Amino acid sequence: MNPYLDISPEVQQALAEGRPVVALESTIISHGMPYPKNVETALRVERTIRENGAVPATIAIIGGRLKAGLSEAEIEYLGKTGRAVAKVSRRDLPVIVAKKADGATTVATTMLIAHMAGISVFATGGIGGVHRGAETTMDVSADLEELAQTPVMVVCAGAKAILDLKLTLEVLETKGVPVIGFGTEELPAFYTRESGLKVDARADSPAELAAMFAAQRGMGLKGGMLVTNPIPQEFAMPKDVIDAAIEQALSECSAQGIHGKDTTPFLLARVAELTGGDSLESNIRLVLNNAMVAAKTAAALWK
């Protein structure tokens, strides 16, 4: 086992017994939502995974230790500390670990640590991708590179709607990452169910998702699989409302000179403000929906 990695007793026992485990990221706790809603949501997501037949493993860095499985007290700590906790991607890991610091893991880092621990299914809200204007800024999320090289299935509601979804799909295609729509042939756009863009294939059950991922692993193909699960219809936002909020948030982001890893937290928070909190509630509902699908898929994979 990796000498920098700590696996919680519950997760360790589940892995030893070959039972299904689902990884969860921690950036959504520290940077994605305000306190105490972030802690309440994290605990609800863990409960949802248990209710659907799997063991949750929330991933973070505490005191320089890579953690696969957090206690309720550790989740509370990350939620209360908020953005004072470093947002950690792959490149940041050596520094955070060497300094014995705390870190909230992005999609990329959660995938990496999950793989170290032997966890192959991961549920999140939305992945990072190609930012709008990337043809000049070169702002492309490390999540896409991690998907290209780390054999973990990521269940999400698509790439975050603040991104350039068409270019994000193009990069995933170039890197050979299968993009599977759960119950849909169209890429969901995070807050809304449609984007007008086609995914690579459709799966209509967790068993079908598990079979696809088992085939990918069985052939020894490099990289992960992206499952895009649309937000439930009753919690989806009107496209014109969310598009207007995103455009305004992007304009303010540019005017304030915000860039790099600060961009996504700023945009998500600003969109939540501009929509009167409606986008935050949608975000919570889509994460819970993804957790349910991921747990059922992990259970099907185990069977």
Q: Which residues are catalytic?
A: 25, 160
Contact 283, 264 (CB under 8 A): no
Both tokens assigned to 113? 């640590």
Burial of 101 by CB count in 10 Å (0-12 exposed, 13-18 middle, 19+ buried)?
middle
Chain position carrying tokens 């990221």 = 25
Burial of 162 by CB count in 10 Å (0-12 exposed, 13-18 middle, 19+ buried)?
buried
Phi, psi (deg, nearest 5) at residue 178: -65, 130
Please tell me the distance from the alpha carbon of residue 145 to that of residue 158, in angstroms, as a whole number: 16
Burial of 196 by CB count in 10 Å (0-12 exposed, 13-18 middle, 19+ buried)?
exposed
Chain position carrying tokens 């969901």 = 188
Residues in Cβ contact with 163 at an 8 Å cutoff, skipping those fewer than 6 apart: 128, 129, 130, 131, 132, 141
- What is the CA angle 33-38-42, rounded to 5? 130
Contact 226, 177 (CB under 8 A): yes
Cα 159 to its chain centre, rounded Å, is 9
